[in-house]
């Protein structure tokens, strides 16, 4: 399956080279410097953490720290909750990004020693009490890292006088393989180990915000794709209660989590792929002793779910303890009712990961139903779906119907479920705002439109960063102004409204108000309502739940 965090039409090798160049930290890293080497310079800055001092760099008016350790090497606690880092002496260098989690994607192969975060701030120990924005990366629960050039927090930090943090954490089997019913209490939290890493990172932010000029009582989490889903899951995790105060999710929802039976069945498949009998008494010790490469190889085993794009699913597990309920079913989690929230999607999500197949741009009406049936997550007759879309949009081509229907049926539906759940919460629940990015990329003659991941460089105000697919024209910058200022307004005031957009009303069941980010932005009631009603004929069950 294509990496959903990598924009369609790009060159993965070139992307990786650019990310490595970005990791050089504006030329501050010298060849051969170790993690505790002393490399002071006129531009270096030092901060103090509970584990020891760290050295960053001062660049373009911002203090930047890359690769701060917030947890110990997870190799010693594989499939178990994270531990705090061991204290160190001297000054640890935080001028280069830390290792990503083990994975098969563009950020791989990674390392089990991956609990690092990156931080940008205008001031150190200055009593600034700035809003803190913590970003969780996409890639589902399978790939990615907080080190992508598009996640560089410098411009957002300068634009809003805020602290920006990005995070690495355990993924795929290392973060979400549920062994609780196979390995006993020691592995009870294994299905949510990656989520507990994020909890650990948020605790680190709480404990160190003041040192880095931030306010521990004003933390906004934001994330795209898998990052948004991780936020939705944290909103239902008791251990995350009180660690963040606003939430902004982009094209990433988690309505239901994997059940313990389904998660255990996947664990059994995984062990069998490794040649380990799940019922053997030494199954878990053997698994714990395997090299990282063998575990990653086994993640490629085919899942038993209906959707055909897929390797074995890994994601949060409703284990009764770490995650005691589904994140947004049958209602929104009460523990997060007071958190103002933004839920957003892009207008043409699936062009990012289904647009890499040229056949999808040349479909006939005859071929469309079968192609659609293989890619829709909601179980409706594909021929009836096509007929309804032809009625709603008689001017659409078969390929346009394919992309818009797959977007609505598999990418947008979860957002509707979360918005409705939040809108039904009793007063005095905090408001929820909905958006849809309609503005499309001008590159490749507009072929990709408003594809999945397009909003990342816009909210970070990073349209000129390597990897951005927005172009660098005035339209892209206007969209970045509108979206990044909305994120900053939410972080500072708990409300995303600002002078550059029309009045953005909270989502309600009566009107379903949605801000359409375009040039110009516009507020609409129930946009694409016909599509919403079509897909709501069938119950929504998130992939991986069963």
- Greatest C-alpha distance within the chain: 69
* DSSP 3-state of 494: coil
Burial 370-402 (b: 16+ CB within 10 A, else e): ebbeebbbbebebeebbebbeeeeeeeebbbbb
* DSSP 3-state of 247: strand
Residue (of 250, 176, 200, 199) closest to 51 by Cα position:
200
Pairing between strand 130-136 and 116-121? unpaired
State the Cα–Cα distance between residues 225 and 245, nearest whole angstrom.
Answer: 20
The residue annotated as part of the active site, out of 452, 468, 484, 498, is 452
The residue annotated as part of the active site, out of 93, 112, 349, 417, is 349
N- to C-terminal Cα separation, the chain: 20
Residue (of 40, 49, 26, 292) closest to 172 by Cα position:
292
State the Cα–Cα distance between residues 306 and 378, nearest whole angstrom.
Answer: 11
Helices (H), 136-252: 154-160, 172-176, 180-183, 193-208, 226-234
Mark whether 498 is an active-site residue: no
Residue (of 437, 431, 433) closest to 456 by Cα position:
437
**Beta strand residue intervals within 393-526, DSSP E:** 432-437, 513-517, 522-525
> Taken in order 77, 287, 185, 203, is the CA torsion positive or negative?
positive
Residue (of 519, 338, 536) closest to 420 by Cα position:
536
Tokens 């001028």 -> residue? 95
The residue annotated as part of the active site, out of 225, 251, 411, 484, is 225
Mark whether 145 is an active-site residue: no
Mark whether 225 is an active-site residue: yes
Enumerate the active-site residues: 225, 349, 452
């Amino acid at each position: 399956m294509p990496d959903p965090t990598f924009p369609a039409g790009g060159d993965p090798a070139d992307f990786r080279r650019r990310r490595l160049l970005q990791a050089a930290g504006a030329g501050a890293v010298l060849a051969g410097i170790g993690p505790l080497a002393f490399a002071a310079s006129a531009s270096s800055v030092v901060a103090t953490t509970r584990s020891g001092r760290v050295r960053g760099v001062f660049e373009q008016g911002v203090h930047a720290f890359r690769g701060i350790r917030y947890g110990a090497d997870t190799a010693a606690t594989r499939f178990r909750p994270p531990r705090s880092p061991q204290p160190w002496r001297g000054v640890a260098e935080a001028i280069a990004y830390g290792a990503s989690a083990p994975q098969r994607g563009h950020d791989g192969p990674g390392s089990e020693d991956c609990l690092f975060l990156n931080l940008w701030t205008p001031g150190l120990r200055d009593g600034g009490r700035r809003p803190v924005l913590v970003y969780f990366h996409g890639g589902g629960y399978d790939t990615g890292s907080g080190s992508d050039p598009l996640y560089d927090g410098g411009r957002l930090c300068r634009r809003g006088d805020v602290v920006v943090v990005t995070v690495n954490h355990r993924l795929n089997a290392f973060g979400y393989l549920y062994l609780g019913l196979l390995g006993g209490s020691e592995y009870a939290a294994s299905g949510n180990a990656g989520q507990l890493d994020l909890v650990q990172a948020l605790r680190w932010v709480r404990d160190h915000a003041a040192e880095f000029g931030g306010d521990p009582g004003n933390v906004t989490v934001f994330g795209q794709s898998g990052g948004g889903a991780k936020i939705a899951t944290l909103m239902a995790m008791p251990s995350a209660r009180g660690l963040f105060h606003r939430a902004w999710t982009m094209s990433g929802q988690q309505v239901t989590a994997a059940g313990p039976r389904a998660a255990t069945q996947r664990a059994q498949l995984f062990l069998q792929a490794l040649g380990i009998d799940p019922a053997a008494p030494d199954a878990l010790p053997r698994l714990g002793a395997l090299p990282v490469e063998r575990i990653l190889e086994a993640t490629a085993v085919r899942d038993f779910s209906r959707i055909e794009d897929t390797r074995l699913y890994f994601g949060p597990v409703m284990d009764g303890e770490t995650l005691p309920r589904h994140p947004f079913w049958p209602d929104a989690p009460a523990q997060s009712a007071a958190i103002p929230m933004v839920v957003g999607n892009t207008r043409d999500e699936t062009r990012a990961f289904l647009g890499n197949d040229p056949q999808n741009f040349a479909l006939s009406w005859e071929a469309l139903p079968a192609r659609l049936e293989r890619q829709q997550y909601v179980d409706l007759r594909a021929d009836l779906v096509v007929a309804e879309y032809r009625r709603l949009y008689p001017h659409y081509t078969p390929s346009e119907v394919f992309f818009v229907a797959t977007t609505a049926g598999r990418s947008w539906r979860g957002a509707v479920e979360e918005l409705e759940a939040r809108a039904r919460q009793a007063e005095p629940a905090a408001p929820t705002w909905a958006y849809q990015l309609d503005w499309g990329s001008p590159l490749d003659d507009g072929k990709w439109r408003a594809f999945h991941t397009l909003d990342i460089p816009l909210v970070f105000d990073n349209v000129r960063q390597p990897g951005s697919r927005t172009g660098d024209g005035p339209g892209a910058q206007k969209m970045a102004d509108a979206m990044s200022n909305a994120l900053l307004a939410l972080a500072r005031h708990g409300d995303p409204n600002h002078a550059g957009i029309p009045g953005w009303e909270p989502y309600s069941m009566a009107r379903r108000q949605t801000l359409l980010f375009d040039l110009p932005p516009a507020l609409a009631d129930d946009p694409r309502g016909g599509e919403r009603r079509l897909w709501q004929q069938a119950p929504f069950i998130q992939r991986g739940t069963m």
